[in-house]
Amino acid sequence: MNKLIIIFIALIFLNNCSFNEESKIWKNKDKDLSQNQNIKKIFADKKSKVVEFNKVLKLDLSNLKTNNKINDNRNHLSSQTYGGNLSKIANYKFSKFQEFNTTHFEPLFLSDGIIFFDKKGSIIRYDKNKKVLWKKNYYSKSEKKLSPKLNFILKDNSIIATDSIAKYYSINLETGDLNWSKNNIYSFNSNIKSFQNKFFVVDYKNILRCYNIKDGSECWNLKTEESFTISNSKYSLIIINELVVFNNSVGDITAVDIETGLIIWQLPTQSSNIINETYNFKISKLVSDGNSIFFSNNKNEIYSVDAKTGIVNWINNLNSNIKPVIVGNLIFTVSDEGYLYVIEKNKGNIIRVTDLLSNYKPRQRKNIQPIGFVIGDKNLYLTNSDGKIIVADLSDGKITKIEKVSGGLVSEPFIFDNNLFVVRNGSIVQYN
């Protein structure tokens, strides 16, 4: 009798609830949670792939090149060509930082040298021979103690700089002399992008700001949802189809009209039901092929989003906060566990998964965190938190070389003018 009662109660429960196969969660028929995309994505039981898939599959990439026109976080749209063997040819030296944070270290590459900064906020221009052409500092004694971290963009003959202590200013490229200087209410936490006579940057309060390049005056600003905590990740900003597209600390992707500052579309990628201060959300840099925008996060999701409408083309399971790279009709990215994913761009299908940390012992790899990667002619170059560069053949994913750059942290790698660059604490290392 007791068994019959239990079965009867169970049938009543099952009649009112059903199982959502896609999200792997129970849903109430009266309140269908699957209608809320954010809820079903956040609470789904998704485990990142940590096994190789089709590892013997060889890819023919002979006719596929990295799109030089891709909009990404770089301060330039230069050739991504690099076929060197990681032979070190130069060190551009600067004073060591007390705290080396990889998220803020992106040099500004010039046709005849490099722009970077030191621990006191001094801006340094080097020529190709590593010679310092000029060194300028526009901070007070007290501001220097804060070790401002700078981001740059080159516009005409001026360098626009924004920093981590809420200053932004313009200097002459040839002399380093100050054109103008302004102060924001909040510190900046994104890369910079320009369009015509304006430039765009996001501050720590998730406010997108549009400034006039000529004098630094504010054209407009747009405030998005504010987080209770300060993000440790740098926000990402791109310009595509006369829209400014950026992410904020709570996972929103927002597209804004360049002229008016009005929101064209917005895509939340996490549930508002989760308390911000306890939710460690990280998102990769945004990249675009002109039609779609691609990014991943550390909540087991990689997105393809229509650039015009913000409609999601597809979502696949992948745990990563590293910027993806587009090569032809393929997307390459690296998971937090060190696995290289090759994904079909249009459909989101995973073609191959290859372990890039296979040479590490199990105990070693637990402490290894992929930093970032670039793709050259035939190889992928991945930097890790142990200060090493891993070189993998793109066709089969096999490791061909491991190069030690530093005993500590390094930046993501950069390719410019047929050379590869990595920032370590104290110098920018150049390889041919």
Choice among 160-169, 181-190, 408-417 with the minimum mean pLDDT: 408-417
Same domain (yes/no): 385, 401: yes
Q: What is the mean pLDDT of residues 75-93?
A: 78
How many angstroms separate the CA atoms of 205 and 185, rounded? Answer: 10
| Cα–Cα distance measured from residue 96 to residue 75, given in angstroms and rounded to the nearest whole number | 23
Nearest to 393 by CA among 49, 57, 88, 87: 57
State pLDDT tens for residues 196-255.
Answer: 999 999 999 999 999 999 999 999 999 998 766 666 678 999 999 899 999 998 889 999
Mean of the pLDDT values across residues 378-383?
A: 94
6 and 141 belong to one structural domain: no
The confidence band for 152, taking pLDDT boundaries of 50, 70 and 90, is very high
Q: In angstroms, rounded to a whole number, what is the distance separating the alpha carbons of residues 97 and 327?
A: 35
Number of domains the chain is built from: 2
Residue 82 shares a structural domain with residue 181: yes
Whether 25 shows a pLDDT value over 80: the answer reads no
At residue 408 the predicted structure's pLDDT band, cuts being 50, 70 and 90, is: confident
Q: Region 125-147: what's the mean pLDDT?
A: 97
Amino acid (one-letter) located at 143: E
Per-residue model confidence (pLDDT) at position 250: 86
Q: Is the pLDDT of residue 42 over 80?
A: no
Distance of alpha carbon 167 from alpha carbon 170, whole angstroms: 11
pLDDT band for 10, please (50, 70, 90 cuts): very low
Same structural domain for residues 186 and 318? yes
Residues 14 and 89 in one domain: no
Whether 12 and 79 share a structural domain? no
Q: What is the pLDDT of residue 43?
A: 37
CA distance 116 to 93: 10
The b-or-e profile of 192-227 (16+ CB within 10 A means b, else e) is bbbbeebbbbbbbbbbbbbbebeebeebbebebeeb
Q: What percent of the chain has pLDDT over 90?
A: 66
With contact defined as beta carbons under 8 Å apart, do 325 and 294 qualify?
A: no
In DSSP terms, 301 is beta-bridged to 297
Query: Using an 8 Å Cβ cutoff, are 339 and 360 in contact?
Result: no
The answer on 220 and 261 residing in a single domain is yes
Q: What is the pLDDT of residues 317-369, one digit of tens each?
A: 988 989 999 988 999 999 999 999 999 999 999 999 999 999 999 888 989 99
**Do strands 287-288 and 350-355 pair parallel, antiparallel, or not at all (unpaired)?**
unpaired
Residues 162 and 258 in one domain: yes
Q: Are residues 362 and 368 in contact, defined by beta-carbon separation less than 8 angstroms?
A: no
pLDDT for residue 232: 64
Q: Alpha-carbon distance 420 to 45, whole Å? A: 40
**In this structure, are 42 and 30 located in the same domain?**
no
Give the pLDDT band (50/70/90) at residue 431.
very high
pLDDT exceeds 70 at position 69: no
pLDDT of amino acid 63: 74
Query: Which residues, in sequence order, are CB contacts of 83 under 8 Å at separation 6+?
Result: 376, 377, 378, 418
Task: Give long-range contacts, CB 8 A cutoff, 24+ apart: 121-130.
Answer: 121/147, 121/148, 121/150, 121/163, 123/150, 123/159, 123/161, 123/171, 123/176, 124/94, 125/173, 125/176, 126/92, 130/90, 130/91, 130/92, 130/93
Please check whether residues 16 and 82 belong to one and the same domain.
no
Tokens representing residue 114 in the block: 């490099």
Q: What confidence category does residue 281 fall into, taking pLDDT thresholds of 50, 70 and 90?
A: confident
Q: What's the CATH code of the domain at 358?
A: 2.130.10.10
Instruction: Note whether 31 and 162 are same-domain residues.
Output: no
Domain identity same for 389 and 330? yes
Domain range for residue 241?
36-431
Torsion sign, CA atoms 141, 174, 70, 219: positive
- At residue 231's C-alpha, the angle toward residues 236 and 265, to 5°, is 45
